[in-house]
């Protein structure tokens, strides 16, 4: 594909995916990896994961900064999440090295399908069964997310490990797994879970990027592919933050995301099987 055609496509994809990911609370990584695998067949899996992780990190960091300004997240939650993510990122990096590209494509496709099912369950099965998080605030094992809610520290550590593992293994940032777990297991609302998810994604993604620092010097990755997508991600994320409070029907956004996830997952799996 011509570079003059590819660059606008990459920009638009980054803009739309980051916007959808921010509004839905799942993050853009769930679509960046499969779409990049399709659009950039000449890139190896490590390069694809690096690009996706970089985009996810930038989007998540913008959200974290906004949440800190709005006092929606506690610094201690971020610190615990980053510390717990470190060993998981190393483990995911090791596990990823054991599999071929085809196997990783199937793993990513399977995770995407699993995530879409979780999103449906969260919306239609668990939404009305959320625990009253305020009742847990007095627990000695809980730490404050903000002035209105808290989370069990052991659950936070486990979730951080899961996010770090997914980030390093697939490059999807961990958000597709983190949000459903925070909603279902921790009984948080979307508003309470989203700042935690973004914080854990940013921490795990940063560690993963540092472990692959040599790719920052790759002109092909950083300029031809990364730059237009980074611009799209920054614009898409900022716009999503600005308009999110005006969106009253998040379910429509979620269903668009779910359909795109299924299309991407099926395409990845068919590429391997056919």
pLDDT tens-digit map of 210-245: 988 899 988 888 988 899 999 999 999 999 888 877
pLDDT greater at residue 71 or residue 257? 71
- The pLDDT mean for the chain works out to 82
Least confidently predicted of 123-137, 171-185, 246-260: 123-137
Whether the CB-CB separation of 19 and 239 falls below 8 Å is answered with: yes
Report the pLDDT value the prediction gives residue 172, as an integer from 0 to 100. 72
pTM score: 0.82
Give the pLDDT confidence of 34-70 residue by residue, as tens digits: 889 888 888 888 899 899 999 999 999 999 999 888 8
Structure token digits, residue 14: 């980054």
Report the pLDDT value the prediction gives residue 127, as an integer from 0 to 100. 60
Report the pLDDT value the prediction gives residue 13, as an integer from 0 to 100. 94
Report the pLDDT value the prediction gives residue 129, as an integer from 0 to 100. 53
In the predicted model, what is the mean pLDDT of residues 238-262?
77
Give the pLDDT confidence of 89-120 residue by residue, as tens digits: 888 888 888 888 788 778 878 877 887 887 78
**Percentage with pLDDT > 90 across the chain:** 14
Q: Which of 56-65, 77-86, 160-169, 250-259 has the highest mean pLDDT?
A: 56-65
Report the pLDDT value the prediction gives residue 41, as an integer from 0 to 100. 87
């Amino acid at each position: 594909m011509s570079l003059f055609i590819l660059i606008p496509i990459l920009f638009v994809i980054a803009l739309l995916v980051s916007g959808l990911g921010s509004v839905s609370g799942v993050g853009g990584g769930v679509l960046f990896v499969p779409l990049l695998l399709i659009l950039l067949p000449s890139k190896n899996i490590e390069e694809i994961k690096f690009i996706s992780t970089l985009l996810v990190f930038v989007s998540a960091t913008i959200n974290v900064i906004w949440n800190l300004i709005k006092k929606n997240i506690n610094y201690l939650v971020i610190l615990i999440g980053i510390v717990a993510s470190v060993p998981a990122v190393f483990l995911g990096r090791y596990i990823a090295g054991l599999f071929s590209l085809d196997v990783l494509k199937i793993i990513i496709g399977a995770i995407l399908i699993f995530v879409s099912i979780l999103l449906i369950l969260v919306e239609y099965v668990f939404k009305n069964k959320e625990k009253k998080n305020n009742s847990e605030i007095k627990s000695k094992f809980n730490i404050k997310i903000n002035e209105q809610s808290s989370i069990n520290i052991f659950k936070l550590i486990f979730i951080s490990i899961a996010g770090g593992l997914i980030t390093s293994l697939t490059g999807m940032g961990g958000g597709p797994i983190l949000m459903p777990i925070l909603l279902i297991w921790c009984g948080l609302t979307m508003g309470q879970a989203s700042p935690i998810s973004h914080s854990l994604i940013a921490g795990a993604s940063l560690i993963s990027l540092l472990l692959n620092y040599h790719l920052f010097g790759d002109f092909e990755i950083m300029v031809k592919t990364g730059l237009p997508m980074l611009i799209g991600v920054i614009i898409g994320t900022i716009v999503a933050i600005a308009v999110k409070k005006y969106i009253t029907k998040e379910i429509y956004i979620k269903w668009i995301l779910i359909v795109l996830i299924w299309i991407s997952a099926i395409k990845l799996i068919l590429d391997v099987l056919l």
